Amino acid sequence: MKILVVEDDLQVARQIQTSLKGVGYVVEVVHDGEEGYYLGNNDTFDAVILDLGLPKMDGIKILQQWRNNDRNMPVLILTARDTWREKVVGLRAGADDYLSKPFEVEEVLARVEALIRRASGHATPLLTCGPVTLDTTTNRVTCNNETVELTALELGMLSYMMHHRGEVISKTELTEHIYDQDFDRDSNVIEVLVNRLRNKLGAGIIKTHRGLGYQLVEPTG
Ligand code: CA
């Protein structure tokens, strides 16, 4: 899962980045409004954390323009001023949730997790597909009730596929959501990861659609 953080307070930005990375998200951080607007408008993110008071372009304007351009990723706004007006303006501009500063990073993590979950249509933190479960609050994966150890990349891929269960997901889409920008897109690491997940969770859990991509399915038989 890939998160964009737009925050001009370097210390707050670093704190959010560290905690998101610590639980396996791919994180991009920018410190001014114009750059944030551009990235959110042109790249793919599973969620955005957007400060409202930013240099060059303010958060409300960024949000309005994203929504005008049909950029529909979930957005959590951060506000330094604890006024109800700013929250109302932010929500009406298209924010999905808000947090007032100062906040605990645990709360940021919980809110981002809930936003991503709801954006993909899941009401509870426990995602299942056949014998496989993923608890999105702890990142614990089980298969037939036994804990399965996954690497960070395997977990990133499984998490994206669990959130988009049943959809055929292209290699490009998987790459965009589980790697940083500078990743070499021509390599075959996605196939390698798919094979490793099949080895750990059962061959039937990921179906290949030639030329189209991969689909997480409930294994049959
Ligand atoms: Ca600010």
The pLDDT of residue 202 is 95
Residues lying with their CB under 5 A of ligand 1, a single-atom ion: 8, 51, 53
Structure-token pair, residue 11: 């210390």
Domain spans in the chain, listed from the N-terminal domain onward: 2-119, 126-216
**DSSP strand pairing (126-129 vs 132-135):** antiparallel
Distance CA 73, CA 53 (A): 20
The pLDDT of residue 80 is 76
Whether residue 179 has pLDDT greater than 90? no
The pLDDT of residue 81 is 64
For the chain, the average pLDDT equals: 93
Distance CA 172, CA 188 (A): 11
The pLDDT of residue 26 is 93
Whether residue 182 has pLDDT greater than 90? no
CATH topology assigned to domain 2-119 = Rossmann fold (3.40.50)
The pLDDT of residue 186 is 65
The percentage of the chain sitting over the pLDDT mark of 70, rounded to a whole number, equals 96
The pLDDT of residue 152 is 87
| Tens digit of each residue's pLDDT (9 = 90 or more) over 16-64 | 999 999 888 999 999 999 999 999 999 999 999 999 999 999 999 999 9
Whether residue 110 has pLDDT greater than 80? yes
Q: How far is the CA of 51 from the centre of ligand 1 (A)?
A: 6
The pLDDT of residue 100 is 92
Q: How far is the CA of 157 from the centre of ligand 1 (A)?
A: 33
Comparing 84 with 107, the larger pLDDT belongs to: 107
Whether residue 185 has pLDDT greater than 70? no
Q: Which of the four pLDDT bands, split at 50, 70 and 90, describes residue 67?
A: very high
Q: How far is the CA of 177 from the centre of ligand 1 (A)?
A: 27
pTM above 0.95, yes or no: no
What would the mean pLDDT of 100-125 be, rounded to a whole number? 93
Do the beta carbons of residue 91 and residue 52 sit within 8 Å? Answer: no
Q: Answer whether 2-119 and 126-216 agree in fold.
A: no
Query: Which of 147, 108, 154 has the alpha carbon at shortest distance from 12?
Result: 108
Whether residue 150 has pLDDT greater than 80? yes
Cis-peptide into 131, omega within 30 deg? no
| Tens digit of each residue's pLDDT (9 = 90 or more) over 75-87 | 999 987 667 888 8
Q: Which of the four pLDDT bands, split at 50, 70 and 90, describes residue 207?
A: very high
Q: How far is the CA of 35 from the centre of ligand 1 (A)?
A: 14
Check whether domain 126-216 has CATH 1.20.140.10, yes or no: no
DSSP E strand stretches across the chain: 2-6, 26-30, 47-51, 75-79, 97-100, 126-129, 132-135, 140-143, 146-148, 168-169, 206-209, 213-216
